[in-house]
Amino acid sequence: MRDGVRLSSDTLRVVTASGRHHVGSGAGAPLDIRGIAVPAEPRTRTPTAGPELELLDGVVRRYEARLGPDGPVVFREPAMPTGFPDIVAVFCRHGSQTAPSTRRRLGPEHLRLRLLHHVYSLRRSSAPDIAAALGRDERRVRRLLDDLEQALLLRQTRDRAVARALESVFIATRIVAIEAKIRDWRNALRQAVANTWFASHSYVLMPSERVGEAVSQHAARLGIGLMTYDGSRISVRVRARRLSIPSSYGSWLVNEWAVRHVNHVSR
């Protein structure tokens, strides 16, 4: 499958519904990455038994059998500021598992990630400007910037915070979000649109027999991808529009989950 849905061998791992962890064999130069105060695993919602869960489990098992150890990091129903997407799959750069294993515990996570995203959006900014933009105390912002510099996530020079090369700190090359629904495709599309806040590709997953032309047309108009599953085969009816990442601090949140997971499993 194409455009962010195929689970290809250029990625590092799959975490399946069964909790098994598969580590790839990619190697490369260590990344200059230190952790932020995010847990090794995100908080997740307990799946509800029923047809939607069976649909999701079938798709995950299908990919697991097909790919073995190669694939993205897959989180099931992680807690995001926008809700609980059914699947978030993170495609990582080669060599990501060689990122430094030491981690700095920095918090609160969302404020730090908001600050980090702000700096990378502008490429450079001063503490007073950042404090004004985020509505925070300047002294607090300076402490956060010092912590992020020590974590090798940015540099400070001449009273300005300066972004590093994105590929040295952001290991996600694609973040694919999937919302599964049996019948209510309109609600699925609404949730999928919300997922574009952090994802590079956002998809709706439905049973093949439930998908008509109206679903495809609405999905295409919104830039949302449409996947179907008939119990044995996964098909892409509509390809998702690719969005740039990181697009928000939500993208950084998912990235940090992937960084910690890659390091935890590869130890």
3-state SS of 36-83? CCCCCCCCECCCCCCHHHHHHHHHHHHHHHHHCCCCCEEEECECECCE
Q: Compute the average pLDDT of residues 244-267.
A: 84
Q: Which string of b and e fits 80-96 if b means at least 16 CB within 10 Å?
A: bebebbbbbbbbbbbbb
Query: Furthest-apart CA pair in the chain: how many Å?
Result: 61
Among residues 62, 63, 65, 85, which one has the least CA distance to residue 75? Answer: 85
Q: Which residues contact 185 (CB under 8 A, 6 or more apart)?
A: 204, 206, 210, 211, 215, 218
Q: Which residues contact 219 (CB under 8 A, 6 or more apart)?
A: 189, 192, 204, 225, 226, 237, 238
Query: Is residue 240's pLDDT more than 70?
Result: yes
Does this model's pTM top 0.95? no
Query: Is residue 64's pLDDT more than 90?
Result: no
Q: State yes or no: cis peptide before 72, omega within 30 of 0.
A: no
Q: Which two tokens stand for residue 178?
A: 């999937």
* 117 neighbors 124 (Cβ within 8 angstroms): no
177-223 per-position pLDDT tens digit: 999 999 899 999 999 999 999 999 999 999 988 788 899 999 999 99
